Amino acid sequence: METINDKFVSPTLGEITVGRMIEEISSFVALDSHGFYRLVIGTDSQAKIVSGKKECDFVTAIVIHRKGRGARYFWRKEKASPPTLRDKIYMETTRSLDTARELVPSLRKAVSPAKYDLEIHIDVGSLGPTREMIKEVVGMVTGSGYVAKTKPESWAASSVADKHT
């Protein structure tokens, strides 16, 4: 997979480093020290044809959600050859897990883990063609020690990341 950008994009700040994103998350949490938060990571992808060549954009979103009181999000994009549906779902899930592994150690230094729940949102659901994969990808996430959410609760993947594919 080719990384377009190792940095993240903030809708308000533009392109920022991972360190700056962690600072922004920490500052957002500090605005309401009594609030409780969800840190959510989700990836979505979209195949497209560019200059007559098929490619697939993978967008990973990181959302810090203050329950009942707003959120901030950040995203980054990668390109890859368009995979099969099964491979695409595995690649999305793996990308989210890799992002969690990359961010969690630094984030835990900046924000107490007692302040937030960490969720991985997976773009699979019981009604579509991905329904047969739910147990597999949920097992990948829970086996890595994270809480997994699927459609319709996987809004970070199916709405936030999808917005930027």
* pLDDT tens per residue across all 165 residues of the chain: 444 357 999 999 999 999 999 999 999 999 998 889 999 999 999 998 889 888 999 999 999 999 888 999 999 999 998 889 999 999 999 999 999 999 999 999 999 888 899 999 999 999 989 999 999 999 999 999 999 999 999 999 988 888 888
Token readout for 67 is 């329950």
Residue 143 CB partners (closer than 8 Å, separation 6+):
none
Mean pLDDT, the chain, rounded, equals 92
Per-residue pLDDT tens digits for 35-63: 899 999 999 999 988 898 889 999 999 99
Buried b (16+ CB within 10 A) or exposed e, 113-124: eebbebbbbbbb
Output the pTM of the full model.
0.92
